[in-house]
Amino acid sequence: MKRDDKSLSVPMQMFVKLGVRQINLIKNVVTAIKDTNTVHERLWPTKLNNLESTLIGLEEEASALEMFFEEPAGLLTDEQRKELEKNITQMGIIITQFSQMSKGEADERRKRIYTLLEHLERRIAEKKNVVNYNRTILISLTAILIAIVSITIAVIT
């Protein structure tokens, strides 16, 4: 967060920090979904493997963000946490205020993130199925070609 954000209340700073991370995650998931369109159903899908790695990273980020709903104090800076540990009542008030703030927008973004991640996972699985189908076809055609060549050689000799 920038230094000029000090004018915001601590719960609002936490809410903004969570919101920014959620929005960035949504953008990254949408970009990954768009990237699935550039994957051609070839036999050796390097880009598809990269997308799977990206999916894993995005799921890890979603899990990390999920932890902030369970333990909002993780959104505090070390400075704020040390200061608030002296006054547990104040920390409780801040966490309660943050929890109330996050019930609306942040919770909706949270649901959207998981919906988009599921969509990305389905798209990757569909592309993998097409790649596996193409591999099977290639192997079958190769086997048929070998059989035809073998029969032709047997007939000629």
**19-67 confidence digits (pLDDT tens):** 899 999 999 999 999 988 887 766 567 888 889 999 999 999 999 888 8
In a domain, 146, yes or no: no
Least confident range of 25-39, 80-94, 98-112: 80-94
- Residue 134 or 120, more confident: 120
The pLDDT, as a whole number, for residue 87 is: 77
Beta carbons of 51 and 32 less than 8 angstroms apart? yes
- Contacts with 100 (C-beta within 8 Å, 6 or more apart), sequence order: none
- Helix axis angle, 88-102 relative to 10-36, nearest 10°? 40
Q: Phi/psi at 10 (nearest 5 deg)?
A: -60, -45
The pLDDT, as a whole number, for residue 1 is: 45
The pLDDT, as a whole number, for residue 71 is: 79
In a domain, 148, yes or no: no
Rounded Cα gap, residues 59 and 146, in angstroms: 45
In a domain, 156, yes or no: no
Rounded Cα gap, residues 27 and 56, in angstroms: 16
Q: Identify the sign of the CA torsion 92, 93, 95, 100.
A: positive
Q: Running DSSP on this structure, what letter comes out for residue 38?
A: T
In a domain, 56, yes or no: yes
Beta carbons of 69 and 138 less than 8 angstroms apart? no
Residue ranges making up the domain that contains 94 = 7-130
- Residue 2 or 69, more confident: 69
Tokens of 138: 């290639």
Amino acid identity at 102: S
In a domain, 73, yes or no: yes
Q: What average pLDDT does the chain have?
A: 85
- Contacts with 83 (C-beta within 8 Å, 6 or more apart), sequence order: none
Rounded Cα gap, residues 55 and 156, in angstroms: 55
Domain count, the chain: 1
0.85 exceeded by pTM? no
With 60 as the cut, is the pLDDT of residue 3 above it?
Answer: no
In a domain, 18, yes or no: yes
For the stretch 71-82, pLDDT in tens is: 777 787 788 877
As a whole number, mean pLDDT of residues 1-5 equals: 50
As a whole number, mean pLDDT of residues 94-103 equals: 79
In a domain, 145, yes or no: no
In a domain, 50, yes or no: yes
With 90 as the cut, is the pLDDT of residue 140 above it?
Answer: yes
Query: Maximum Cα–Cα distance for the chain, whole Å?
Result: 95
Rounded Cα gap, residues 55 and 32, in angstroms: 8
The pLDDT, as a whole number, for residue 68 is: 82
The pLDDT, as a whole number, for residue 59 is: 94
Amino acid identity at 150: S
